[in-house]
Amino acid sequence: DIQMTQAPSSLPASLGDRVTITCRASQDIGNYLRWFQQKPGKSPRLMIYGATNLAAGVPSRFSGSRSGSDYSLTISSLESEDMADYYCLQSKESLLTFGSGTKLEIK
């Protein structure tokens, strides 16, 4: 099974900061990588698909990138509404795997 190693688990940051969350895949997953945002008591929301594509309605301060087996989600200038949990998901195989999650919180 493909393992997704996500870091950091917690990310204290200030409004206006540029922040980056990373997932490393244990095997080649191509660009079959999505990023989700989840706020307390809510269902997850798709932010990035295909490793680098912005989902519909997602602000342009969010971006996704890939370097080899490392995938990153970057927020260029943090806003208060971005405080949430973030998860990566690989869908290269039918057996999907999520990263362990990153809690983005105000410093």
Partner 1 sequence: AVQLVESGGGLVQPGKSLKLSCSASGFTFSSYGMHWIRQAPGKGLDWVAYISSSSGTVYADAVKERFTISRDNAKNTLYLQLNSLKSEDTAIYYCARFDRVGTYWGQGVMVTVSS
β-strand pairing of 10-13 with 102-106: parallel
Stretch that binds partner 1, among 11-19, 21-29, 39-47, 68-76 (CB under 8 A): 39-47
Amino acid identity of 20?
T
CA–CA gap between residue 105 and residue 85 (Å, rounded): 9
Tell me the three state secondary structure of residue 26: coil
Q: Is residue 66 at the binding interface for partner 1, with CB under 8 A as the rule?
A: no
User: Is residue 91 at the binding interface for partner 1, with CB under 8 A as the rule?
Assistant: yes
Give the residue, chosen from 38, 52, 74, 76, that forms a contact with partner 1 under the rule CB under 8 A.
38
**First CA to last CA distance, the chain:** 36
Only segment of 16-24, 38-46, 62-70, 76-84 that touches partner 1 (CB under 8 A): 38-46
User: Per CB under 8 A, does 44 bind partner 1?
Assistant: yes
CB count, 10 Å around CB of 107?
9
Summarize as ranges the residues that interact with partner 1 (CB under 8 A). Answer: 1, 34, 36, 38, 43-44, 46, 49-50, 53, 55-56, 85, 87, 89, 91, 94-101
